[in-house]
Structure 1
Amino acid sequence: MTGRLLLLTVSASIVSALSLSAQPVITELQPRGAQKGKPFTLTLAGRNLGEGAKIRSTMPASFTLLTPDQPAPIPGGPMQGEGRYATFLVEPTADLAAGVYPIRVVTSEGISNVQLFTVGAFPEFTEDESRPGALPNTNDSMEDAQGLPPPPFTLNGALRGPERDMFRLSARAGEKRVIEVEARRCGSAIDPLLEILDANARVIARSEDAPLLGLDARVEVAFPRDGDYYVVVRDARFSTQTANFYRLKVGSYAYPREVFPLGGRRGELVETSLGSETVTVDLRNASSNVHQVFVNVPGSPALPVPFAVGDDPELNAPVGDGVIDSPVTINARLAKADQVDRYTLRVPTGRAMTFRIQARELGTSKLMAVITVRDEKGNVLGRSGDEPLAEDLYNVNQSRTAGDPILRLQTPAGVNQVTVTVEDLALRGGPGYAYRLNVQPVAQDFRVILNSAFVNVPAEGSVAVPLTVLRQGFEDEIQLRVANAPKGLRVEGGYVVAGLPVKETPQNRNSRGVLVLTAEPGETFESLDLTVEGVARLPDGSMIVRKAEGPGMIVNVAGASEQGAVDRQRSLTAPWMGLELVTARTKPRAATLEVTMLDRTRMAEGDQIKFRWKWTLRDATQALPKTVSAEMVGSADVRVIDMQADAKDSSTGTFMMTTTRLTRPSKYDIYITGRLNLGGGEQEDIVSRPITVKVDEVGAGNAQTRSRP
């Protein structure tokens, strides 16, 4: 792009760890669930599910491939034309428990994404409209409602776009039933709304975002008279989702009606109320990277609910009027509307402190919390939960409801006691408005978050693995690494620039790093879970090591493409699976790509650094792009200009990167990416190995100084 100025932004330079070409992809499972204790067949639909595909899962079962490429259609519209099918005989072990299990496949082309499979306690059925070859919109009215069998049962269905599914259920007067929809908890993108109608189409029960279920729905109905009733399932926004399945469960059973407290301290036995019963949660062996476990009413066929795990001393409300020492986690709830909880805490004077709420993000509370901290005279020291959104360079999909509030502040000199208030943004309250308030001095710490759930590394090629560092008081440089890299896997890059970007705000404490993984020529390695770590040195010389946390899976939700999207439209992840960076080696790609630094010109306002890219093709007839994407990882105010392919040799070209006074002096990892069009709509992203470039502080003596690497 000769003469054009390209602003180097994260959105333009992020390279997905997923290949766009031949890696295996699972788009659908059929069925989505099964009754425990019985063998069943499982059909995977997607792309590149070739011969020899093997299932990888935590489900205690054997998986026998019956046919590697089954042409039978699976409902869901466009998904049917995307590729092939593989069917397995699944024979569970006797100890298979009800719950949600990850399913993925491994082939010679690498490892696939995760789809979730649910094991239930009731007999399983399939919606007629979801069967292979069925016509759409055949059960959208009371007249066409599909009849349901006598409870208990679980029905697997799907919503094909903005429709509603209607089912007819017979009941006797006074009969009580629990009716619920499992969707988001099982990896579906739909936001279910559940209604129960009588024979006159009057709504006798309705649920959306039921307590403890996140966005899923549940009602408990006492039917007033003998006769037929109608169960209606639809998406709350009538949206069209790719992951459009749901599980309708009907029966008479106990389930958690509350969780209080919402969590407990690592290393302890903790009692928590689930409404009808109190259970003991064993956190004595919870590892340092475990932030939640799951709890349930004993013997319940309902899916378990999350229970938070913390490290500080815990108190359960009521805590009285005395002064509370920190660090501490206080478990409480806003039991009624307009309630404002107040706590007096002893804090170290002049010390940086963190005040954090856990509630809505746990999935077991409806609280949209606002926290305020005041000194002994009533002066507001800080407030969080109702402030404008921060301008976050590394978060293009944030929203006001995208997280529980966190407040970091410095206690003024002479202040050793503060008052903290907790309230709901809309002044709501009730049994479902519990929270955890954690107060602690800001330690020099950080967390490392994997932005990818898995990665396939091409033979003799490279792939970029982006990570986000959540800084929690530590602002120095951090080096990312792979602790268990096998022979044949080269790990490069991973440098996280020290300090905060110049335009940083108090709400924005994220930094970016990118590891580049390369499969060495002639070497092979099996699929494995890579342990990614962040390593840094504290001021006292000691080392701090933090293990990266993975998303488990990523399911896109339609409507979540712009900043300000509400939380129900955010991508669905499953960090509770505890998966690390799942990695496999794949076949070579169509080319390799290299970047080199040519020269640098020191200007009065910054540097101009010239680079060359070079393609090496496996097929000389492959068309090459005229540009590449470039990233100086973690930099601010850097631009890419004068990108030009060589007029005589299309396999090479040059570009410039310019820095300014706003670019932090530091070393940086630089890598480039090029996208090849392979024909037939297939594409491959080719990633270079990284190089290191040092940016010096801009000074008067720097102008017009020219140097070569």
Structure 2
Amino acid sequence: WLNANAVEVVIDDKQSNANRVVLTATLPNETSPGLAQLRLATTDGMSNSVTVALDRLPQMPFAESIATLPVSLHGSVPGSGSSKTSFTGKAGEDLLIEVEAKRLGSKLRPVVQVFDAQRLQIAWALPSPTLGGDARVAIKLPRDGQYTVEVHDVQYAPPGPSFFRLKIGQWQCADLAFPPAVTKGQEVTLALLGGVPGLTVPFRAPADGQLVPVLWPALAAASGPPPSVTISALPELIEAPPTDPPMSLPAIPFAVSGRLDGPAQQDRFRLAVTPTSKLLLEVFAERIGSRIDAALELRNLQGAVLASNDDGPGMIDPRLEFTVPAGVDALDIVLRDALDIANDQAIYRLVLTSADVPRNDVDVSAKSDVLNVAAGEMRILEVNAVRRGYDGPLQLVLGQLPPGIVAQGTEIPSGASGTLLTLTNTGDAVAPLVTSLVAKSPDGVITRAVRLDTTPDDRSPVWLREQFAVAAAPKNVLPFAVAWADAQPPTNWVLASKTAIPVTFVRPTGTLGPVRLSLVTSQLEPKVNNQPNAALTVRAERVVEVPVDP
């Protein structure tokens, strides 16, 4: 499966052996370039996903020399070493040289260097936040001759698997979209930044969703993940050309997007305010892939700075809460780039809301993205909610399910930090599919796609984490069953108390050996100062291991 689409594959007998299986598949011409989740489906269920790249570049194993360009080489950096390849180029030739690693799930923090025939470095690139921690060089070759490309880890010590994909040639790419956010249902023209200057694409924001990828305007020419756009419930404005007085802003809440693309540029806005009211100003720049280090100031109309912020809590984007002084009915908002990058990727989004109005938001995540449910059995998916103002119930809505699969535990109660979503296979069909999982408030105001809970260094596109594989599998030959011994186990527990809960289990006939039991709860682990709070955590007192049957 590629994302939610089934793809037929054929085993390559000539390249397969006892240690590996080589599968070949032909994708439809309308397949969009970018990144996708690849899964293998068999009669026993679905595999875990891996992130793969899709495009029309020639794909080759990594080699010491390249015969023709463009090309995409697949390899792995050997520990503390580097991977090297060479090609012949002509003076004035424009090339892109890009490493995809972090975005594919690799632990490699790639550095790419380009040397000429005399071993003189003519270009290099470090891991870029705009590229999800990967690296790209855009170069015009200075002379005819041979060039060498080297790839290595930024510390010459990758902390895990160091596979990568090296692309050399010319292709259509874009790293950011402007504006970076669009109001639900609105139609706009997006500028695609980071590749061919002036590249645009029409875009209509869906009624639901949080972050969606842009469709490439030319499928055959594109490579790499497309930029994404935030789907907003706020009015979304675009900065106007500089004026005196500054651009007037509407009443809050709203958001405004702009570019600091000129040297020493400062974007200024004027906001009418009410004395003693409380404002919340939040800049999205580094968090959306922009290269700027934004700095925010609030000034009175005489130019005096009333408040400023450079870095918010745990981030380099500014966040500022401000109480309007008595006698002040207008403020000037000033944004600048502390790095003064001044290019077309120096974009930002400024969100203004009232600090007096409680936030009404929540993020929902799941511990796994694959559930294989054998006939007559059940599987549990931990779903957690991180609440930011919204404390009401959430209903979990699954997309299409295989025949015979029934869902229970689909509600996260008011105030709860999660639920255990249970899928039971009541049928006998064998059917895999990739589906969606959405959390909704009863009034429909809040709709959040449930995403796979990943590690902080995961750089795969967010929308790929919103896919869940569910398979109805055959009945297990050796079934194992475990259940509560009491029909109604205790539900009201006293803080700091201990409760013994008897369980029963049935071993498959003829199997022996110890059985280890673990406790799974719907509670999101409470933390104090970012450390687990054992006093408030529902947990097993110790590991329970049942010895071998006599």
TM-score, normalized by the shorter chain, greater than 0.5: yes
Contact 1:626–1:650 (8 Å) recurs in 2:
no
Q: What letter is aligned with 2:537?
A: V
1:527 aligns to 2:421 (yes or no): no
1:238 matched residue in structure 2 = 156
Name the CA distance, whole Å, in 1 between partners of 2:133 and 2:276: 42
| 1:351-408 deviation per Cα after TM superposition (whole angstroms, max 9, x unaligned) | 8865443333333x1235455668999655x958343x5xxxxxxxxxx47xx66667
Please list the CA deviations of residues 214-248 of structure 1 after superposition, one character each: whole Å capped at 9, or x if unmatched.
32222233333333221111122323465533232
Q: Distance in 2 between matches of 1:610 and 1:375?
A: 64
> Structure 2 vs 1, CA of residues 271 and 645 (structure 1 numbering), >3 Å: closer, same or farther?
closer
1:430 pairs with 2:319: no
For residues 275 and 403 of structure 2, the distance between their equivalents in structure 1, rounded to whole angstroms, comes to 51
The 5 A counterparts of 1:511-550 are: 512-520=417-425, 523-524=428-429, 526-537=431-442, 542=443, 544=445, 546-550=447-451
Q: Quick one: which amino acid aligns to residue 638 of structure 1?
A: T
Q: Is the contact between residue 464 and residue 516 of structure 1 (CA under 8 Å) also seen in structure 2? A: yes
Q: Equivalent of 1:592, from 467, 470, 481? A: 481
Aligned-pair CA distance for 1:433: 2.7
Q: Does structure 2 retain, via aligned residues, the 8 Å contact 1:289–1:549? A: no
Task: Give the 5 Å matches for 1:553-568.
Answer: none
Q: Shift of the alpha carbon at 1:193?
A: 1.1
In 1, Cα distance between equivalents of 2:388 and 2:396: 17
Render the CA deviation track for 1:46-69: whole Å, top value 9, x for unaligned: xxxxxxxxx455679643344599
Distance in 2 (CA, whole Å) between partners of 1:111 and 1:293 is 25
Matches within 5 A, 1:402-551: 420-422=333-335, 427-431=339-343, 432-440=345-353, 444-482=360-398, 488-493=404-409, 496=412, 498-499=414-415, 512-520=417-425, 523-524=428-429, 526-537=431-442, 542=443, 544=445, 546-551=447-452
Is residue 2:16 matched to residue 1:70?
yes
Contact 1:259–1:273 at 8 Å: present in 2 too? yes
Identity of aligned residues (%): 21
1-structure distance, mates of 2:285, 2:519: 40
1:541-568 CA deviation, whole Å, 9 max, x = no partner?
x4545243334x96xxxxx7xxxxxx6x
Q: For residue 108 of structure 1, what is the aligned residue in structure 2?
A: 43
CA contact (8 A) 2:111 2:126 kept: yes
Match for residue 124 of structure 1 among 30, 48, 59: 59
CA contact (8 A) 2:479 2:508 kept: yes
- Letter of the 2:201 partner, please give it: V
How far off its partner does 1:513 sit?
1.1
Distance 1:630 1:163 in 2: 43
Query: Against the structure 1 CA distance between its residues 293 and 528, is the aligned structure 2 distance closer, same or farther, given a 3 Å change threshold?
Result: same
Letter in structure 2 aligned against 1:282: P
Q: Measure, in 1, the Cα distance between the counterparts of 2:432 and 2:107.
A: 28
Displacement of 1:270: 1.9
1:315 aligns with 2:231: no
The answer on whether the counterparts of 1:256 and 1:297 sit within 8 Å (CA) in structure 2 is: no
1:281 matches 2:281: no
Query: Within the alignment, does 1:638 sit opposite 2:537 as a pair?
Result: yes
Match of 2:122 in 1: 204
Shift of residue 208, structure 1, vs aligned partner: 1.8
Correspondent of 2:463 among 576, 600, 608: 576
In structure 1, C-alpha distance between the alignment counterparts of 2:300 and 2:402, rounded to whole Å: 54
Q: d(CA) in 1 for partners of 2:145 and 2:493? A: 84
Structure 2: gaps spanning 5 or more residues = 527-535
Which whole-Å CA distance do the structure 1 matches of 2:179 and 2:305 have between them?
30
TM-score for the superposition, normalised by structure 1: 0.62
CA distance 1:221–1:629, change in 2 (3 Å): same
Aligned 8 A contact 1:56 1:105 in 2 = no
Asked if the contact 2:107–2:162 (Cα under 8 Å) also holds between the matched residues in 1, the reply is yes
- For 2:204, give the aligned amino acid: R
Decide whether the 8 Å contact of 2:236 with 2:254 is kept in 1.
Answer: yes
Q: Say yes or no: does 1:334 pair with 2:288.
A: no
What is the RMSD computed on CA atoms of the aligned residues? 4.2
Aligned residue identity for 1:591 = F
| 8 A contact 2:361–2:446 mirrored in 1 | no
* Cα distance in 2, alignment partners of residues 413 and 497 from structure 1: 43
* 1:629 partner letter: L
Q: Could you say what secondary structure the match of 2:291 adopts?
A: coil
User: Is 2:170 the counterpart of 1:269?
Assistant: no
Query: Is residue 31 of structure 2 the alignment partner of residue 85 of structure 1?
Result: no
- Structure 1 residues 351 and 282: alpha-carbon distance in aligned structure 2, compared to 1, 3 A threshold: farther
Note closer, same or farther for the CA distance 1:352–1:109 as it changes in structure 2 (3 Å cut).
farther
For 2:134 and 2:56, how far apart are their aligned partners in 1? 19
Offset of residue 206 of structure 1: 0.6
The one-letter code of the counterpart of 1:437 is: L
Task: Tell me which moved more, 85-94 or 408-417.
Answer: 408-417
Query: What per-residue deviation string (whole Å, max 9, x for no partner) do you get for residues 56-108 of structure 1?
Result: 55679643344599326xxxxxxxxxxx5333332333444543343211112
Structure 1: how far apart are the matches of 2:188 and 2:492? 63
* TM-score, structure 2 normalization: 0.78
| 1:631 CA displacement | 3.1
Stretches of structure 1 that go unaligned for 5 or more consecutive residues are: 1-54, 73-83, 129-145, 390-399, 500-510, 555-559, 561-566, 652-709
Q: CA deviation at 1:164?
A: 0.5
CA contact (8 A) 1:182 1:247 kept: yes
Q: What letter corresponds to residue 90 of structure 2 in structure 1?
A: R
Residue equivalent to 2:143: 225
Deviation at 1:487, TM superposition (A): 6.0
Deviation digits for residues 591-630 of structure 1 (CA, Å, limit 9, x no counterpart): 2222356668987x76554322332222464323465335
Summarize the Cα distance change of 1:247–1:534 in structure 2 as closer, same or farther, 3 Å threshold: closer
